[in-house]
Structure 1
Amino acid sequence: MTCIHFSSSHATRALFRQTPGSDGCWNDLQVILEDPEQKADWLVAYDRHKAPLKTRVPKARRVLVISEPPDFQAYPEAYLDQFGIVLSPYNVKGFKGLTRITQTALPWFYGMDIGAGGSLHVSKDWQALSQPVRTLEDRSLELTAICSTKSQTKNQVRRLRFLRLLKVALGERLTIFGRGFQPLEDKAEVIENSRYHLALENNLLPHGWTEKTADTLLGGAFLIHGGSPAIADDFDKDGLLWIDLTRPRESVERIRQCLDQGRAGNERAAIAMQANKDRLMHEHNLFAVLDKLVIDLSPELADIPLLERPEPIRWIKASRLSRLLKVPRAAKRLLWHMEITLFERK
């Protein structure tokens, strides 16, 4: 069995509910969160590693998984140089190793209670997630969205404007939840009671979809995807509606037509929705993604021995000059508002 030391500043054992035994095992892969005996074969750092971190894993088998757009997180070259492989939805500037452009399987929030202080409690494990979902006829909400009022990226500014337009057009047919709207603890409470759910991504990167999309599929609501059109590369388009957030008025009308036509209720959509959930759980699941990576690269990398002594993995800050040259977020936000208002009017 191959062992991966998975290190992330926000990982807990709740992540293991995405494996059938809730134990971090997937086929012949074992994922662990701590490696005190320094015996892991691979190291995976997700977004940012948990500090402090030392490893005997050679650089060639160290993987950095990047799940956020560069507007959220930039990676200094000195940090990137500690890894041999990057999984990312975009090409990371300055990285010299092997890059795989892919969706990076953000952990699911559906079926997870978020308590005080950010604590997590699993309300739906693998077995519960695998069960048939509630039929659409038994759902009381027509269209829902879960969104915060954050505006840290251009697409977050864009999606808030879109929500305002959509609410004006649909009125009570649309119910909005999330920080700054109606509060909730577990997204399952909303999605499993919705016939249609709007997943407004924080970026438009190809394969940059997040748990917002995954949670919709798990809950069995018809997915309306506000992200990249490349979503059709990863899922059956008959089970979803893609909308272009850069053309907000056209997208509002497309959603209205989708609801009025009852698209989620036809047999073709129902088959595709189930297939998309299966694909999410068994192919686009974080553990499945890591398992495929190990299988693909082991013939080339498996024989490289562990280091004799553990090496530290350090977060290395950007240079003072690059920090000084960084455009303030308030100025960026103003420019985004102006650009979106002026050029995205259709």
Structure 2
Amino acid sequence: MIKIKFSTQFSDLHLIRQTPNSSGIWGDCQFFIDQDVEECDFWVVYDEPSRTEKTKCSPENIILITAEPPSVKSYNKNFIKQFGLIITCNRNIKHPNIIYTQQGLPWNVGLRRNEKWSTVETKTYDDFKTTKYIEKNKLMSTVVSNKSFTEGHRKRLTFLKAVYDYFGSQVDILGIETTPVFGIENKVNDKWDAVSKYKYHLAIENSSYPDYWTEKLADAYLDGAYPFYYGCPNISDYFPEGSYTYIDITKPEEAIRIIEETIKNNQYEKSIDKIKEARDLVLDKYNLFALISEVCNSRISSKAKSNIIIKPQSIMANDRKFFKKIVSGISCLVSERRKEIYPNQYIKGG
């Protein structure tokens, strides 16, 4: 069994539920999620760890999987240097060993937020795997977020408002956050409630980069809905034709026309088998643990292990600021000492 240490700052995602029987095992790989282990064959960091951690591992088997597109998050070079391999969509990252592919971003569907805003799992890999068909009694939905700090976020909100203005009661605008975005959405605590009853779902990313697609699309398939999708421009490399309709939210009138025609064409009913095929890909191929297992099995080596320490990017940034303060302080002391020793050099006008 290949022993894999897995570290992330997103403990509320209950990632172990994405493995069969919530066992933490995928094929011949055993995952130790946010656990201290003395030694491992691979160490995978998803986005960044929540704290400084250490273990014994081969340096080339330290893997970073990025979680955000370049428009949302950047990774500094000192943080990147800690890893032997990077799995990412981000072409701005400089590293000798990079795999450009989808990043296995975790599902949100099947996680319910309680009153204290913590999460409780309601569905697991096994639940989705054994679901044959989900009865649909509503037409179309989308989930909005109140995030608006990037241009992509703002474009998404503008487009979804245009969709609501055109379709009215035919589309349900649903929200996870406590603060409404448009003032018209109903609040849901689990994306299962936001998608599973609907034939169609608007899955709109906050950006458009090759190989970057998220739970917005994966959740639609797990809920058995037909997605109108915007985001990853090479999404056809991942999912079969007939399992989605791609729209361009920067051309809202054209996108709305495509949505309307697709619904009139009863595309959901025609695509049920394709949706199931896409769901199985989400579960068994693009699953975070399937991705890691495939990569690790292709990189098994007998190179010597050594003691490895990984620091979060935030701590490294603070360390750098502290170092700069020390250097600045020393420079000031040296300058003041020089003035004491060579006072004539510092007399104005002298």
User: TM-score, normalized by length of structure 1?
Assistant: 0.85
Q: Is 1:8–2:8 an aligned residue pair?
A: yes
Q: How far is the alpha carbon of 1:35 from its aligned partner?
A: 4.4
Tell me which residue corresponds to 2:326.
none
Tell me which residue corresponds to 2:159.
162
Query: 2:152 and 2:132 mapped to 1: Cα distance?
Result: 31
Q: Contact 2:4–2:29 (CA<8 Å) still a contact in 1? A: yes
Q: Contact 2:141–2:198 (CA<8 Å) still a contact in 1? A: yes
Report the number of matched residues: 311
Query: 1:151 and 1:133 mapped to 2: Cα distance?
Result: 37
Distance of aligned partners of 1:145 and 1:12 in 2 relative to their CA distance in 1, 3 Å threshold: closer
Q: Contact 1:147–1:200 (CA<8 Å) still a contact in 2? A: no
Tell me which residue corresponds to 1:334.
none
Out of 299, 310, 316, the residue aligned to residue 297 of structure 1 is 299
Query: 1:170 and 1:222 mapped to 2: Cα distance?
Result: 17
Query: 1:13 and 1:109 mapped to 2: Cα distance?
Result: 8
Q: Is 1:241–2:238 an aligned residue pair?
A: no
Q: How far is the alpha carbon of 1:134 from its aligned partner?
A: 4.0
Query: 1:271 and 1:37 mapped to 2: Cα distance?
Result: 43
Tell me which residue corresponds to 2:332.
none
Q: Contact 2:125–2:283 (CA<8 Å) still a contact in 1? A: no
Query: 2:290 and 2:123 mapped to 1: Cα distance?
Result: 19
* CA distances 1:95-129 after superposition (whole Å, capped 9, x unpaired): 32311111111111111112244422111122211
Q: Is 1:97–2:96 an aligned residue pair?
A: yes
Query: 2:173 and 2:48 mapped to 1: Cα distance?
Result: 31
Tell me which residue corresponds to 1:42.
42
Tell me which residue corresponds to 2:324.
none
What letter matches 2:299 in structure 1? Answer: L
What letter matches 1:294 in structure 2? Answer: C
Q: Contact 1:83–1:97 (CA<8 Å) still a contact in 2? A: no
Tell me which residue corresponds to 1:183.
187
Q: Contact 1:134–1:192 (CA<8 Å) still a contact in 2? A: no
Tell me which residue corresponds to 1:263.
267
Tell me which residue corresponds to 1:198.
202
Tell me which residue corresponds to 1:287.
289
What letter matches 2:273 in structure 1? Answer: I
Tell me which residue corresponds to 2:21.
21
Query: 1:310 and 1:229 mapped to 2: Cα distance?
Result: 37
Tell me which residue corresponds to 1:129.
128
Distance of aligned partners of 1:133 and 1:225 in 2 relative to their CA distance in 1, 3 Å threshold: farther
Q: Is 1:147–2:141 an aligned residue pair?
A: no
What letter matches 1:218 in structure 2? Answer: L
Q: Is 1:174–2:178 an aligned residue pair?
A: no
User: Identity over the aligned pairs, expressed in percent?
Assistant: 26
Q: Is 1:223–2:227 an aligned residue pair?
A: yes
Query: 1:251 and 1:120 mapped to 2: Cα distance?
Result: 34
* Equivalent residue runs for 1:313-332 within 5 Å: 313-315=311-313, 316-317=316-317
Q: Is 1:114–2:113 an aligned residue pair?
A: yes
Q: How far is the alpha carbon of 1:14 from its aligned partner?
A: 2.1
Deviates more, 1:47-56 or 1:208-217: 47-56
Q: Contact 1:227–1:245 (CA<8 Å) still a contact in 2? A: no
Structure 1 stretches lacking a partner, 5+ long: 321-346
Q: How far is the alpha carbon of 1:194 from its aligned partner?
A: 0.5
Deviates more, 1:95-104 or 1:213-222: 95-104
Structure 2 stretches lacking a partner, 5+ long: 322-350
Tell me which residue corresponds to 2:62.
62
What letter matches 2:309 in structure 1? Answer: E
SS at match of 1:213: helix
Tell me which residue corresponds to 2:346.
none
Query: 1:204 and 1:8 mapped to 2: Cα distance?
Result: 24
Tell me which residue corresponds to 2:78.
78
Query: 1:146 and 1:83 mapped to 2: Cα distance?
Result: 35
The root-mean-square deviation of aligned C-alpha atoms, in Å, is 1.8
Distance of aligned partners of 1:166 and 1:37 in 2 relative to their CA distance in 1, 3 Å threshold: closer
Query: 1:188 and 1:88 mapped to 2: Cα distance?
Result: 28
SS at match of 2:23: coil
Q: Contact 1:142–1:195 (CA<8 Å) still a contact in 2? A: yes
Query: 1:3 and 1:118 mapped to 2: Cα distance?
Result: 33
Query: 1:202 and 1:102 mapped to 2: Cα distance?
Result: 18
Q: Contact 2:159–2:249 (CA<8 Å) still a contact in 1? A: yes
